[in-house]
């Protein structure tokens, strides 16, 4: 099983451009990222610096979020938001080009929060339009777009909170390069049986991310049976990387001991 480090939550004690090398020093050969820029279309020099840091570290980029807005301020994607649709569309070619230039073939498109002054049906229609545009661009580059469910406790305005809701959207699109991002932390927070989900739907996973419940720390800091979960995942049809998208308990470099024990 191949693990990658999400540099948007792990090694955040370091500047962004130093994190790929820190992941390599910790024994990893792959990383993933949320969209790390405040703009949908950052200057080329910013993109080049990050790409160089990833290449120079000797790690590969295996996952990248499209621009999802200001996550720190509560944004959770732009797909379904009328006022931000143009921003998302401007980001599509930028994110796809950056990702595929580094050999990354998985891009995460967060759905976006519900807006009180917009009909949900209108937002859903717009989300499908934007997902289709993203999927077409990704497909031309040999990449997959993934859709993620987030837990309602921490993301109360995000409408995709279960695997079934995500699959409903994916099924409506009928595009083979749109798949499910199975974040076991968010799904467990919503009460889903992750082991049963793996048995039932692992063939539909486009990416997997993990953290423990409660607290979103590394596996072993909470109640999730990650020994069983990782074994079940290893025996499933899913053969992609597993993203470590957790908030380390203590220094990031000391948060990986669980791998030797559980994996």
Catalytic-residue membership of 148: yes
Pick the catalytic residue from 148, 192, 257, 261: 148
DSSP notation for 22-68: HHHHTT-SEEEES--SSSSS--HHHHHHHHHHHHHHT-EEEEEEPP-
Catalytic-residue membership of 192: no
The CA angle 177-147-257, to the nearest 5 degrees, is 105
Name the token pair of 149.
Answer: 């469910």
Q: Are 65 and 112 in contact (CB under 8 A)?
A: no
Phi-psi region of 29 (alpha: psi -120 to 50; beta: other; left: phi over 0): alpha
CA separation for the pair 206, 146 (Å, rounded): 6
Q: Which residues pair with 205 in a beta bridge?
A: 180
Pick the catalytic residue from 41, 245, 257, 261: 245
Residue linked to tokens 């109360």? 156
Which residues are known catalytic residues? 148, 245
């Amino acid at each position: 099983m191949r693990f990658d480090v999400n540099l948007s939550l792990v090694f955040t004690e370091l500047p962004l451009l130093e994190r790929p090398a820190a992941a390599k020093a910790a024994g990893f050969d792959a990383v993933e990222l949320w969209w790390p820029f405040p703009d949908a279309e950052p200057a080329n020099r910013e993109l080049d610096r990050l790409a160089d840091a990833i290449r120079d570290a000797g790690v590969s980029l295996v996952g990248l979020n499209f621009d999802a807005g200001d996550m720190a301020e509560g944004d959770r994607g732009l797909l379904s938001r009328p006022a931000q649709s143009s921003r998302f569309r401007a980001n599509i070619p930028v994110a796809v080009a950056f990702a595929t230039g580094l050999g990354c073939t998985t891009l995460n498109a967060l759905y976006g929060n519900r807006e009180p002054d917009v009909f949900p049906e209108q937002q859903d229609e717009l989300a499908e339009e934007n997902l289709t545009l993203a999927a077409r661009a990704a497909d031309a580059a040999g990449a997959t777009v993934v859709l993620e469910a987030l837990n309602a406790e921490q993301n109360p305005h995000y409408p995709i909170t279960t695997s079934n809701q995500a699959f409903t959207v994916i099924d409506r699109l009928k595009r083979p390069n749109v798949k499910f991002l199975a974040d076991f932390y968010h799904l467990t927070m919503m009460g889903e049986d992750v082991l049963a989900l793996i048995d039932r739907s692992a063939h539909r996973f486009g990416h997997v991310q993990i953290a423990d419940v409660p607290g979103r720390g590394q596996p072993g800091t909470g109640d999730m049976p990650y020994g069983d979960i990782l074994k079940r995942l290893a025996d499933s049809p899913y053969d992609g990387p597993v993203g470590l998208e957790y908030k380390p308990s203590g220094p990031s470099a000391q948060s990986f001991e669980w791998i030797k024990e559980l994996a």
